[in-house]
Structure 1
Amino acid sequence: MNLTVFGATGGIGRELVRQALDAGHRVTAVVRDPARLEVTGDTLEVFRADLTDPEPLRAAVAGRDAVLSGLGARSRKDAGVATRLTRTVLRAMEAEGVRRLLVVSAGPVGPAPESDSPLDRGMRGIVSAVLKDVYADLSEMEAELARSGTDWTSVRPPRLQDKPLTGRYRTVIGGFPRKGRFIARADVAHAMLSMIDDQGTVKQGVGVAY
């Protein structure tokens, strides 16, 4: 496939690029600073852009089979960036008629499992309160997706870890795995790539966790 990855220098973005190249896909990595992209490959194109204007991004998404985004706030002070940058990506995709989009959101944005224990509910509540602005940003980003004409999927992980790829995790379409508290960034990327052709995930939020 011919894929474009936004946020390619972030933790999940780098894994998306690396794993997609390893799987034999052609990848366009959209970055602000090419020097920060540590991944290389014969089928990798590096596209420099600041994501403030959708017009220059049209060349980065035109003719692609899917677009994957690891864009999002890296701290509370960055709240708002996910909605703003995703909106730019959506405009570029819609201008080029590219439909398939997969993005990273967060577990607390979606519904909690009905069978969650009091401990899990309490932890979820604390995290949601501390990162209220970040999750509000992701909720608005998902609202932008819902208003768009794309075939989107929002992948919702819990706490992220820098650990090796396992390929073993649980997913719940429209919900979240019970007692799902952690997942490696590498496995989030793996899940996103595996969902590209999964029609059951189109226009859905998908919880993913160990």
Structure 2
Amino acid sequence: MKTFVVGATGRVGQKLIAFLEKQGHIVYAGARSSEKITETENIKPVFFDLHTEPEEMAAKFADAEAVYFVAGSRGKDLLQSDLYGAVKVMQAAESKGIKRYIHLSSAYALEPEQWQREGMASLMDYTIAKFFSDRWLIDNTSLDYTILQPGALKETPGSSLIEISETTSGAIPIEDVAVLLGEMLERPATYQKVIKVQAGETPISEALDQL
């Protein structure tokens, strides 16, 4: 499948484009610092700026059949990038006729009643930005979306073992998040779903089979 990854130079994005390439997908790797991306037969670097208008974004999508949003400003540009940038990417995808949309969110982003959990106070502004971008995706688009809500992203080796839960997000290696994002691409059982995930004991493909 031809995919467009927004945020291809980020911690998750780098591993995601590598996994998608390994699976044989064509990857348009979008980032503001696209010069950092190595072009290969299946990976095509694309300059992509979340501050631009949806019409310009849509033109960058070329013939992509699916869009991933895995970008993040690490707290430096929450409103324009993490929130409004995400909304504009959704609008661009719809205007282009793209249906499949996979959105990396954060733990409990859609549940304000959970935001007083230990460790979440320092991420409050980020979580609020994700709340509104997630809600826009659910309430204002007709995309075949999946919203993934992991807990803390760990820079430890992946195990490919996870736990998908209706109630709990938790810590998980970045590598496993990337593989999970890649594996759910062509699985209709993940459409119109918010998926909470943490490290666990179930192989990723098996966990997805159980949805």
How far apart are 1:144 and its partner, in Å?
A: 1.1
1:36-185 correspondence to structure 2 within 5 Å: 36-37=36-37, 39-51=38-50, 52-75=52-75, 77-80=76-79, 81-110=81-110, 125-146=117-138, 147-172=140-165, 175-177=166-168, 181-185=170-174
State whether residues 111 and 176 of structure 1, in contact with CA within 8 Å, keep that contact through their aligned partners in structure 2.
no
Q: Larger relative contact order (C-alpha < 8 A, sep ≥ 6)? A: 1
TM-score, normalised by the number of residues in structure 1: 0.84
How far apart are 1:67 and its partner, in Å?
A: 0.9
Counterpart residue type for residue 50 of structure 1: D
Superposition CA RMSD, Å: 2.1
Counterpart residue type for residue 202 of structure 1: Y
Match of 2:34 in 1: 34
How far apart are 1:110 and its partner, in Å?
A: 4.4
How far apart are 1:63 and its partner, in Å?
A: 3.2
Identical aligned residues as a percent: 25
Structure-1 separation of matches of 2:118 and 2:56: 40
Structure-1 separation of matches of 2:35 and 2:117: 39
Structure-2 separation of matches of 1:140 and 1:124: 18
How far apart are 1:35 and its partner, in Å?
A: 2.6
- Select which of 180, 183, 202 maps to 1:191: 180
TM-score, normalised by the number of residues in structure 2: 0.84
1:36-79 residue CA offsets vs partner (Å, 9 max, x unmatched): 33x4421111111212212222233243221111122412x433
Which moved further from structure 2: 196-205 or 148-157? 196-205
Q: Detail structure 1 runs of 4+ shifted over 6 Å in the superposition.
A: none
Q: 1:107 is paired with a residue of what secondary structure?
A: coil
Match of 1:115 in 2: none
Mark the runs of 5 or more structure 2 residues left unpaired by the alignment.
Answer: 200-211
Q: Give the direction of change, closer, same or farther, for the CA distance of 1:21–1:61 in structure 2 (3 Å limit).
A: same
1:15-43 residue CA offsets vs partner (Å, 9 max, x unmatched): 11111011111100011112333x44211
Q: 1:98 is paired with a residue of what secondary structure?
A: coil
Counterpart residue type for residue 162 of structure 2: Y
Structure-2 separation of matches of 1:23 and 1:131: 34
Match of 1:12 in 2: 12
1:166-198 residue CA offsets vs partner (Å, 9 max, x unmatched): 2211123xx244xx5311111111111111222
State whether residues 107 and 176 of structure 1, in contact with CA within 8 Å, keep that contact through their aligned partners in structure 2.
no
Mark the runs of 5 or more structure 1 residues left unpaired by the alignment.
Answer: 113-120
Q: 1:30 is paired with a residue of what secondary structure?
A: strand
